[in-house]
Amino acid sequence: AIIDVDGGGTLSRAELTNHLSVSGYNTETIDKIFNKMDVNKDDEISRQEFRDGMILLTALQSAPGLGNYNAEFAKEMCEDADQVFQSADADGNGEIDKEELRSHIGRSFANYSEAAIDEIFRQIDANSDGTITQEEFRDAFCKS
């Protein structure tokens, strides 16, 4: 969902390009990745195409920006997740509600749609109780 800026449930070429260019990919490489993952050639990558692509294209599993999770990176992700949680938990009650997440994302990523933020919240709120605990937040961002 983090790549899916408009919350449409698919990835456009522009969304993938914006995400991967930050990790240092050039346009030619991004186009190759997009074309390989867009199996049905509808100019969008569905969730299933993305999952299948990550499995079949084993090089992507260790690619920066997509799957490069070595032990040091995982430790940094967990530390960053804790800092982000504290920052997003505006009222300091130990939970993030949807408005706190919306406000936090809006400060850093103004181009995210309401639908995208709703989807991010839904994916992180593992028990669907309407709030995100620090444990749920860590679980969403820390790979073991």
pTM: 0.54
SS3 of residue 30 by DSSP: helix
CB 119 within 8 A of CB 4: yes
As a whole number, the mean pLDDT across the chain is 80
Pairwise CA distance, residues 55 & 77, whole Å: 22
pLDDT tier, 144 (very low <50, low <70, confident <90, very high otherwise):
very low
pLDDT at 75: 64
Highest mean pLDDT out of 32-36, 93-97, 110-114, 139-143: 93-97
The residue whose two tokens read 């790549």 is 3
pLDDT tens for each residue of 80-133:
778 888 888 999 999 999 999 988 887 766 677 888 888 889 889 999 999 999
Question: Of 13-22, 40-49, 57-66, where does mean pLDDT reach its minimum?
Answer: 57-66
Pairwise CA distance, residues 143 & 74, whole Å: 6
What proportion of the chain, given as a percentage, has pLDDT over 70?
78
What's the token pair of residue 73? 């990176």
DSSP H helices in 2-124: 13-22, 27-37, 47-56, 71-88, 98-108, 114-124
Question: What spatial distance separates the first Cα and last Cα of the chain, rounded to whole Å?
Answer: 20
CB 101 within 8 A of CB 131: no
